[in-house]
Structure 1
Amino acid sequence: MSYTIKDVAKKANVSIATVSRILNGQGGYSEKTKFKVLKVIEELGYQPNAVARGLINKRTHTIGVLFPKLSSSLVTDLLDGIEKAANDNGSSVIVCHTESNGEKTMKYLQLLIEKRVDGIIFASEILKDEYYQFVTKTSMPMILLSTESYAYPVPFVKVNDFHAAYAAAKHLIDKGHTRIGMISGNKEDIIAGIPRIEGFKKALTDHNIPLGSENIVFSRGFTFPDGVEGLKSLIKQFPDATAIFAASDEMAIGALSAAYQMGIRVPDEVSVIGYDNLNLAEMSIPPLTTVEQPLAKMGETAAEMLFSILETGETPESRIMQHKIIERMSVKESKS
């Protein structure tokens, strides 16, 4: 049987308001009354309803997180950090899978607001005008994670994709490579696609490395199949490449798989560097050299910024997190 706050009040012979004050630590009762009510709560096994308590203290102690894709290892790492911060702050997380679908995203935003979540983390996707306007009208605090908005003043947490991609290409250059290709993400993607492409190109031009249309293969996304097809296309149009920058670890591991199928030895014949430092990177064969995004820390930081807004009412500064090269065994010195 599920007991209510009314049952607790009746058995303890106090008012519902007194039980509510005790549950929310608001004072106005004796220690004797508190002991009696807590004893009844324990006897009945009463579980306070989070939504009902939220009506009293204006907090439901839940936050909503929107991801475009849940199968990605990147999402898992970001969510680890979010859940750590939420747990540390006595809150729970509702995760929504938008599939980058505008109609589905709007339905989830409406659902989160109806459920009276305390705030929203919007991750890895472009913040469209309709999303921003809808959330702003409700005064719901929001943080962007692994994305940013040039149009709207919403705090964000991410790495500088341009600088990180530059660092990846420079690592290959520092290893003596001069014939360097890239398997990129979507060239229309202003969040992760274009900045990584431009960072790669800038590194090559700064170091006088030949750069033409044959150096880059453009993919639809950042997935394992994109990496498989990307390597095949790149080798076809740029057969002399000795090193490849893949714009995500999933793509890089796809490239390793395609290289194995094609009889291309990594790193003896071609070096490969990825981007993200997912857990999968150290499990690949060979273990993948990559550019680390501190994903779990990024998720934790975004959630902490959200809780800071809830506590202080002040908008925090956006955070650019530091990337770094993680050296493993998929890149070697070039002899050419």
Structure 2
Amino acid sequence: MSSTIKDVAKQAGVSVATVSRVLNNLPGYSEETKRRVEQAVEELGYQPNAIARGLVNRRTETIGVLFPSVSSSFSSEILHGIEEVAHKHNYSVIVCNTAEDGKRTMKYLQVLREKRVDGIIYSSGVLEPEYYEAVQAMGVPLVLVATKSDWDDVPFIKVDDRQAAYDAAAYLISQGHREIAMIGGGESDSIAGQPRYEGFRQALRDHGLPLREDHVQDGGFTFEGGCGAAERLLTASPEVTAVFAAGDEMAIAVISVAARLGIAVPDQLAVIGYDNLKLAEMSNPPLTTVAQPLHEMGRMASEKLIEMLATGQPAASEVVPHRVIERQTVKKR
């Protein structure tokens, strides 16, 4: 049978009210009393009831996290960072899969409202006005990760996608490539698709290289989409010597399709990805890519949310650094 708060009070030689104050970090007891209560909790294996505790401090010590694709490697690495910090501060995490088009977002926001979460982290997708208004109605803080915010009271953590894509293309140019193609995620995606296209195109213009629209394909940020885009590109444009894929899954798709078509990477075709997922190290050959610090971004999102819960004030947004990780899929010409 599990221990109760009364058992803890009896073993520590204090009142139930004192145990409650210690567990909820309220004042009114000595350090010695705190030590005895904590020792009794440990010895008895007492687990405070989250609902009952929430009635005292008006918190459930839970965080809601919304991802467009929970199963993706991208989301997984961010989530690990979020959970690492959340658990350190004794918060539980509720993860919601909103689907790629966000059609389940409003439904999950209602679920999180019913669960009385203390705050929300929203990843990757566009924060639509209706989502913002729903969170405002809940009266809880909101932090964005791998996306941007149009509201001053909603901080975000992300890389500069335009500059990162520019740097990826410039790296290929520095290695002697001139016929460079791109497989992106679609220009209708204002968060990652459009700025990465813009960065790629600007790098080509700045280095005096022609921009051929048939060298730009949409892979939808998926392995399957990347395979289709790579097939179209490599069969129609044999002059291409390098490909920038705006996501590692698409980059690995390019390597796979190239192998099937008898095109050697990196001897005949250079490939650079984007994200630096664990998959990048496991590809054959290992993938050169632009690294986003996804785990650290998740940690920062969690830290900012907990800071906002503690202070009641918005935290500052941050643009985090990216870098090119050189492996074995780009060879100097």
- Tell me if TM exceeds 0.5: yes
Unaligned 5+ runs, structure 2: none
Once residues 308 and 146 of structure 1 are traced to their aligned partners in structure 2, the CA distance between those partners, rounded to angstroms, is: 19
| Number of aligned residues | 333
1:114 corresponds to which residue?
114
Unaligned 5+ runs, structure 1: none
Once residues 326 and 206 of structure 1 are traced to their aligned partners in structure 2, the CA distance between those partners, rounded to angstroms, is: 23
- Could you tell me the TM-score, scaled by structure 2's length? 0.92
Once residues 117 and 15 of structure 2 are traced to their aligned partners in structure 1, the CA distance between those partners, rounded to angstroms, is: 29
On the 8 A contact 1:181/1:238 being kept in 2, the answer is: no
What are the Cα deviations for residues 231-251 of structure 1, in whole angstroms up to 9, with x where unaligned? Answer: 111113322000000010010
* Secondary structure class of the residue paired with 2:104: helix
1:307 CA drift (Å) = 1.3
* Secondary structure class of the residue paired with 2:122: strand
On the 8 A contact 2:225/2:250 being kept in 1, the answer is: yes
2:282 corresponds to which residue?
283
2:170 corresponds to which residue?
170
What are the Cα deviations for residues 259-288 of structure 1, in whole angstroms up to 9, with x where unaligned? Answer: 111111001111000000111111111111
1:58 CA drift (Å) = 2.6
Q: Which is worse superposed, 43-52 or 8-17?
A: 8-17
1:87 CA drift (Å) = 2.5
* Secondary structure class of the residue paired with 1:126: coil
Query: Residues 184-199 of structure 1 correspond to what in structure 2 (within 5 A)?
Result: 184-199=184-199
Query: How many percent of aligned residue pairs carry the same amino acid?
Result: 55
1:314 corresponds to which residue?
313
Query: Residues 29-108 of structure 1 correspond to what in structure 2 (within 5 A)?
Result: 45-108=45-108
Once residues 56 and 117 of structure 1 are traced to their aligned partners in structure 2, the CA distance between those partners, rounded to angstroms, is: 15
Once residues 326 and 35 of structure 1 are traced to their aligned partners in structure 2, the CA distance between those partners, rounded to angstroms, is: 49
Assess, with a 3 A threshold, how the Cα gap between structure 1 residues 198 and 53 changes in structure 2: closer, same or farther. same
1:17 CA drift (Å) = 2.7
Once residues 35 and 301 of structure 1 are traced to their aligned partners in structure 2, the CA distance between those partners, rounded to angstroms, is: 32
RMSD: 2.4
Assess, with a 3 A threshold, how the Cα gap between structure 1 residues 72 and 35 changes in structure 2: closer, same or farther. closer
1:2 CA drift (Å) = 4.2
1:88 CA drift (Å) = 2.7
Once residues 250 and 83 of structure 1 are traced to their aligned partners in structure 2, the CA distance between those partners, rounded to angstroms, is: 24
- Could you tell me the TM-score, scaled by structure 1's length? 0.91
1:303 corresponds to which residue?
302
* Secondary structure class of the residue paired with 1:46: coil
Once residues 186 and 46 of structure 1 are traced to their aligned partners in structure 2, the CA distance between those partners, rounded to angstroms, is: 52
* Secondary structure class of the residue paired with 1:317: coil
1:250 corresponds to which residue?
249
Assess, with a 3 A threshold, how the Cα gap between structure 1 residues 101 and 169 changes in structure 2: closer, same or farther. closer
Query: Residues 180-219 of structure 1 correspond to what in structure 2 (within 5 A)?
Result: 180-219=180-219
Assess, with a 3 A threshold, how the Cα gap between structure 1 residues 126 and 18 changes in structure 2: closer, same or farther. same
Assess, with a 3 A threshold, how the Cα gap between structure 1 residues 271 and 25 changes in structure 2: closer, same or farther. closer
On the 8 A contact 2:234/2:258 being kept in 1, the answer is: no
Once residues 250 and 276 of structure 1 are traced to their aligned partners in structure 2, the CA distance between those partners, rounded to angstroms, is: 9
